[in-house]
Amino acid sequence: MTTAKKVKVRFAPSPTGDLHVGNIRTALFDWAYARHTGGTFLFRIEDTDTTRVTDEYIQAAIDTLKWLGLQWDEGPEVGGDNGPYLQSQRLGIYAEWAQKFLDQGDAYYCYCSPEELEAVREEQRKANVAPGYNGHCRELTADQITAFKAQGREGVVRMRMPDGTTTFTDEIRGDVTFDHKFVPDFVLVRADGSPLYTLAVAVDDILMGVTHVLRGEDLLSSTPRQIRVYQAMGVKIEDYPVFAHLPFVMGQDNAKLSKRNGEVSIAWYREQGYLPEAICNYLALLGWSPGDDRENISMKELTELFTVEKVHSSPARFDMKKLEAINGDKIRALSLEEFATWTMPFLIKAGVITGTDAEIELVKKALPLIQERIVKLDEAPQLLKFLFIEKFAVDGDAVSKISDAAAKDILKRSLADLEGVASWNHESIEAVLRASLIEELGLKPRIAFTALRIATTGSTISPPLFESMELLGKEACLARITQALSL
């Protein structure tokens, strides 16, 4: 990718809700490219649509980038020489440029009503021609403008698109050409004076010194409009940002990823117990490859390896199971202290613990038992709650498995054997129970130990049985087995 200048990339969401997979994949690629090249990662909020963008969503976007570790060099909360970084605070800048375009003759006021524009589109559809503005107000006389104003019409500002084509080099797709007959005169400023995306994004990218625009493929068609704004601004061709449009992310149904086929917000993944590095690791592989078959890469490796040349042009497919596998790998790679730090909030939120020192100490003893078994952090409360239940109970669907005569006999025999265990550790517990239930009674381990698992943990699913019993303690185990026999 062209890097003659010092690289400055930008992530510029319009947060009308929580950031989703597509947003963050773009932010990640921008961040990785800036770090790889020693450039600047700029974060800008496009919030001119005040009816949909709220302060809450803006703060959520900021918090999400922080949580993912995608720290920006310039933008909200960090500052910089090109602020402000919320477009709602830059309206005067856009108004000045729009007026300059009007004065230069590059733009004009359009007074067509929504009904008139829709009528034109309907005629175009009937004639089977590309829909778009027909230039009705391009050459209005002073008398016509006066007449429109007398009717109470408020004009929008439109940019003149010249005849011909726009060609630019996309760093992923090669040379791309747009015929201007498919890029009609477009609106820069609404009738209420608020700027549209095409004006604000182009002006900001130039004024903020953005050199490279990495963004989703869905914005490819807006590029000739932005280039037209650059021309009207008087920007030299060599000073245009370099464009790279990232491939679509598709769902398993081969349709563009959406809420319908599985896309949910990054906040949802966070609540489900996905680690930020796992999310970044997986999203990096959606449209990019380090050049080998590796799927587990660190953030440091990503910054070392990421180049736009390795970004694919073909769509990427989102695979939840692959994300889960990567998340499981990341969990298993955590140190005990790191694992505890990530897990404690889930245990507290679920009401399993309150966070006392004694609880935390017991949790740390139990965590090694589940670290190899879970793929998401939100699985920890279900696996560890048996250690902290004051009023023990057996899960409803498990009661039937310890209610028949055979299960009762296993529990009675186990109770008698365990009462004689002097040194209460998992080795002694396992040795006694295997000798009694497996060797003497000839039971299969699955039959013998399922009943014990339910009686001591309350569920058919738990950490390793004997280690769990050790952590519970002898008194609690005997009491729970006795209680299970009474069911």
CATH number of the domain within which 377 lies: 1.10.8
pLDDT at 3 over 70: no
pLDDT at 350 over 90: yes
234: left (phi over 0), alpha (psi -120 to 50) or beta: left
- Same domain flag for 133 and 224: yes
- The rounded Cα 128 to chain-centroid distance in angstroms is 40
Going by C-beta distance under 8 Å and a sequence separation of 6 or more, which residues neighbour residue 66? none
pLDDT tens, 225-283? Answer: 999 999 999 999 999 999 999 999 988 777 877 766 667 899 999 999 999 999 999 99
**pLDDT recorded at residue 235:** 98
**pLDDT recorded at residue 166:** 98
pLDDT at 4 over 70: no
Packing angle, helices 426-433 and 405-419, rounded to 10? 130
**pLDDT recorded at residue 257:** 77
Task: Determine the residue type at 210.
Answer: V
- Same domain flag for 270 and 352: no
Please list the alpha-helical segments (H only) found in 333-404.
336-349, 357-370, 380-384, 396-399
pLDDT tens, 394-419? Answer: 888 889 889 899 999 999 999 999 99
CA proximity to 422, closest of 432, 411, 434, 436? 432
**pLDDT recorded at residue 293:** 81
**pLDDT recorded at residue 2:** 54
**pLDDT recorded at residue 253:** 79
Q: Is residue 82 part of a domain?
A: no
End-to-end CA distance of the chain: 70
**pLDDT recorded at residue 396:** 85
Cis-peptide into 241, omega within 30 deg: no
**pLDDT recorded at residue 251:** 85
241 close to 205: Cβ distance less than 8 angstroms:
yes
- For residues 285 and 290, give the distance between their C-alpha atoms in angstroms, rounded to a whole number: 8
pLDDT at 1 over 70: no
pLDDT at 188 over 90: yes
pLDDT at 106 over 80: yes
- For residues 426 and 448, give the distance between their C-alpha atoms in angstroms, rounded to a whole number: 16
State the DSSP string of 155-194: PEEEEPPPSSEEEEEETTTEEEEEEGGGS--EEEE-TTSP
Q: Is residue 160 part of a domain?
A: yes
Is 149 part of the annotated catalytic residue set? no
**pLDDT recorded at residue 260:** 67
Beta strand 174-179 with 165-170 is antiparallel
**pTM of the entire structure?**
0.92
DSSP class of 45: B
110 is in an annotated binding site: yes
477 is in an annotated binding site: no
Provide mean pLDDT across the span 180-208.
96
Angle among Cα 315, 212, 269 to the nearest 5 degrees reads 50
DSSP class of 401: G
Q: Identify the domain boundary among 190, 211, 246.
A: 246
Beta strand 8-11 with 186-189 is unpaired
CATH number at residue 149: 3.40.50.620
139 is in an annotated binding site: yes
- Same domain flag for 124 and 272: no
The band of 51, judged by pLDDT with boundaries at 50, 70 and 90, is confident
Q: Is residue 341 part of a domain?
A: yes
- Same domain flag for 187 and 101: yes
- For residues 175 and 172, give the distance between their C-alpha atoms in angstroms, rounded to a whole number: 9
Structural domain count of the chain: 4
pLDDT at 368 over 90: yes
Tokens matching residue 149: 């104003």
Task: Determine the residue type at 310.
Answer: K
462 close to 454: Cβ distance less than 8 angstroms:
no
- Same domain flag for 118 and 235: yes
Going by C-beta distance under 8 Å and a sequence separation of 6 or more, which residues neighbour residue 297? 281, 284, 290, 305
pLDDT tens, 107-142? Answer: 999 999 999 999 999 999 999 988 899 999 999 999
Q: Is residue 299 part of a domain?
A: yes
- Same domain flag for 325 and 346: no
Task: Determine the residue type at 421.
Answer: V
121 close to 133: Cβ distance less than 8 angstroms:
no
**pLDDT recorded at residue 264:** 82
Summary mean pLDDT of the chain: 94
Q: Is residue 80 part of a domain?
A: no
Q: Is residue 432 part of a domain?
A: yes
Catalytic residue among 8, 66, 100, 259: 259
Q: Is residue 320 part of a domain?
A: yes
10 close to 56: Cβ distance less than 8 angstroms:
no
CATH number at residue 481: 1.10.10.350
pLDDT tens, 289-307? Answer: 988 888 999 999 999 999 9
What is the percent of the chain with per-residue pLDDT over 70, rounded to a whole number?
98
Beta strand 249-250 with 316-317 is parallel
The residue range of the domain holding 173 is 90-246
- Same domain flag for 348 and 471: no
DSSP class of 78: T
Residues in the chain: 487
- Same domain flag for 202 and 97: yes
- Same domain flag for 108 and 233: yes
Q: Identify the domain boundary among 217, 246, 275.
A: 246
What is the percent of the chain with per-residue pLDDT over 90, rounded to a whole number?
88
- Same domain flag for 105 and 156: yes
- For residues 40 and 288, give the distance between their C-alpha atoms in angstroms, rounded to a whole number: 21
Provide mean pLDDT across the span 81-93.
97
**Residue 43 burial (C-beta neighbours within 10 Å; 0-12, 13-18, 19+):** buried
pLDDT at 321 over 80: yes
402 close to 481: Cβ distance less than 8 angstroms:
no
217 is in an annotated binding site: no
Beta strand 156-159 with 174-179 is unpaired
**pLDDT recorded at residue 5:** 78
State the DSSP string of 225-265: HHHHHHHHHT--GGGSPEEEEEPPEE-TTSSBP-GGGT--B
256 is in an annotated binding site: no
- Same domain flag for 239 and 254: no
- For residues 276 and 18, give the distance between their C-alpha atoms in angstroms, rounded to a whole number: 16
Q: Is residue 85 part of a domain?
A: no
Residue 268: other Cβ atoms inside 10 A: 12
Q: Identify the domain boundary among 387, 405, 428.
A: 387
- Same domain flag for 211 and 139: yes
pLDDT at 445 over 90: yes
Flag the least confident range among 18-22, 85-89, 288-292, 342-346: 288-292
